[in-house]
């Protein structure tokens, strides 16, 4: 059996208010979905013995407590994500000494958080020390990007890059919006001065072309965040440009955030935390039939070179050129992106996770 657990279990966003509430499995956070829940469910569909739930411990063994069952299970292989407590770091070598195989999944460069990212004020230095020890003590570390492997390999040589996939069965090509708009889907508190990088080019382009701006993922329950935060950071004058938004929502409703615009943007400041990011946002845009432009960070360069997805921009002039191209060709690019994203479907990419786990354990369906 393979057990999967994430610190993001039961994090729920209320669709109507944007408030964080606590509920069940289906409302895991984004990283937990792509790196834990989605691969686990895909492996389960292939016949693997899988358990998912909250992390627990008994008799030195690490286990998971499924949300729909009372009793925890203690699998031969346990895959965990984003646990930064001392207790977890202490438990890993004990579990390994009892014969359990521990896999640590890493999807973000928490040791390189930008000061503007809200997580920088929430994660304590001691948390990062415990997290580093957990990475070092694990039998295997799976990471989503080569940059993460480079930054964490000094902690653990037993590391493999497993790029993010997407569950295309949940996504469909969205119809054209009622009014032309450029869209960004994301949460402003966890940015690193990203939207600000487009202040010179996007507001005048929107005004000149009569396009609106759509923000999907507004979180009103977050301190110091208002509905205006996204377009304030972009420098959009709302008296001259139409702005719309949608609240952040649970993972089962998440694809609906991509229906309010023609094409998407992925603005990223050039900081270590962003260089470690995967290209999952661009993959989501493509899955919804929304072509996109991304700052030329490593993962997006690779996504473009390998799959032809997205348009890369390294300067405001390249952003303007790409925006003009998508304004003129977005319908054709929408169809093209839907075709090109197909190889990234978890229905075929599940083998990447199975192959990784087989490096340290005899897992088989």
> What is the per-residue pLDDT for 27?
66
Evaluate if residue 13 carries a pLDDT over 70.
no
Mean pLDDT over 172-183 rounds to 88
pLDDT at 93 over 80: yes
| Least confident stretch, 47-56, 111-120, 230-239, 290-299 | 111-120
Q: Is the pLDDT of residue 22 over 60?
A: no
Given a cut of 80, whether residue 20 has pLDDT beyond it is no
How far is 363 from 353, CA to CA, in rounded Å?
Answer: 11
Residue listed under structure tokens 């708009």: 181
When mean pLDDT is compared across 96-100, 148-152, 247-251, 356-360, the lowest value belongs to 247-251
In three-state secondary structure terms, 318 is: helix
Q: What is the pLDDT of residue 24?
A: 46
Among 131-135, 244-248, 346-350, the minimum mean pLDDT is found in 244-248
Q: Which of 23-37, 78-92, 198-212, 290-304 has the lowest mean pLDDT?
A: 23-37
Between strands 101-106 and 77-81, the pairing is parallel
pLDDT value at 74 more than 90: yes
Residue 18 has pLDDT above 50, yes or no: yes
Computed over every residue of the chain, the mean pLDDT equals 91
Domains in the chain (CATH in brackets) are 2-165+345-358 (3.40.50.2000), 168-344 (3.40.50.2000)
Tell me the average pLDDT across 81-92: 96
> How many C-beta neighbours within 10 Å does residue 169 have?
9
Instruction: Tell me the mean pLDDT in the region 123-128.
Output: 90
Q: Is residue 314 over pLDDT 80?
A: yes
Per-residue pLDDT band for 25 (boundaries 50, 70, 90) equals: very low
Looking at residues 239-245, what average pLDDT do you find?
A: 93
d(CA 159, CA 152): 9
**What are the two backbone dihedrals, phi and then psi, of residue 70, each rounded to the nearest 5 degrees?**
-85, -35
Angle at 233 (CA atoms; ends 229, 235), nearest 5 degrees: 115
Percentage above 90 pLDDT, the chain = 75
Assigned token pair, 184: 């960004």
Alpha helices in the chain (DSSP H): 30-32, 38-45, 86-97, 119-122, 125-137, 146-152, 202-209, 229-234, 272-275, 280-287, 298-307, 316-340, 346-358
Number of Cβ within 10 Å of residue 125's Cβ equals 8
Q: What is the pLDDT of residue 227?
A: 65
Q: Which residue has the higher pLDDT, 208 or 25?
A: 208
When pLDDT is cut at 50, 70 and 90, the band that residue 103 belongs to is very high
Least confident of 64-73, 175-184, 321-330: 64-73
**What tokens were used for 220?**
């009103």
Q: Which long-range contacts (CB under 8 A, 24 or more apart) does 54-60 make?
A: 54/5, 54/9, 54/10, 55/5, 55/7, 55/80, 55/83, 55/88, 57/87, 57/91, 57/95, 60/91, 60/94, 60/95, 60/97, 60/98
Q: In this structure, are residues 163 and 278 in contact, taking their beta carbons and an 8 Å threshold?
A: yes
């Amino acid at each position: 059996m393979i057990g999967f657990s994430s610190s993001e279990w039961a994090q729920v966003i209320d669709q109507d208010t944007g408030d964080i509430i606590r509920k069940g499995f289906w409302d895991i956070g984004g990283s937990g979905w792509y790196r834990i829940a989605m691969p686990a469910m895909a492996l389960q569909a292939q016949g693997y013995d899988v358990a998912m739930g909250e992390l627990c411990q008994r008799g030195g063994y690490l286990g998971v407590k499924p949300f729909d069952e009372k009793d925890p299970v203690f699998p031969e292989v346990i895959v965990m994500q984003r646990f930064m407590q001392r207790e977890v770091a202490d438990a890993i070598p004990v579990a390994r000494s009892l014969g359990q195989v521990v896999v640590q999944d890493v999807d973000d460069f928490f040791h390189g958080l930008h000061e503007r990212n809200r997580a920088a004020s929430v994660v304590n230095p001691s948390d990062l020390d415990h997290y580093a020890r957990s990475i070092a003590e694990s039998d295997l570390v799976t990471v989503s990007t080569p940059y993460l492997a480079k930054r964490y390999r000094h902690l653990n040589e037993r590391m493999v890059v497993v790029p993010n996939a997407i569950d295309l069965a949940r996504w469909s090509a969205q119809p054209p919006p009622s009014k032309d708009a450029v869209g960004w889907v994301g949460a402003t508190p966890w940015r690193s001065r990203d939207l600000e990088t487009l202040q010179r080019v996007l507001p005048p382009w929107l005004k000149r072309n009569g396009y609106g701006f759509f923000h999907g993922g507004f979180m009103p329950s977050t301190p110091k965040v208002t509905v205006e935060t996204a377009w304030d950071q972009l420098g959009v004058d709302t008296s001259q440009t139409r702005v719309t938004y949608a609240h952040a929502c649970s993972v089962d409703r998440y694809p609906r955030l991509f229906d309010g615009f023609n094409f998407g943007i992925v603005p990223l400041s050039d900081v270590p935390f962003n260089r470690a990011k995967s290209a999952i946002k661009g993959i989501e845009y493509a899955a919804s039939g929304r072509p996109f432009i991304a700052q030329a960070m490593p993962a997006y360069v690779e996504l473009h070179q390998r799959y032809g997805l997205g348009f890369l921009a390294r300067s405001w002039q390249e952003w303007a050129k790409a925006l003009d191209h998508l304004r003129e060709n977005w319908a054709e690019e929408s169809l093209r992106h839907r075709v090109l994203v197909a190889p990234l479907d978890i229905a075929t990419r599940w083998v990447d996770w199975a192959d990784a786990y087989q490096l340290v354990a005899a897992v088989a369906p």
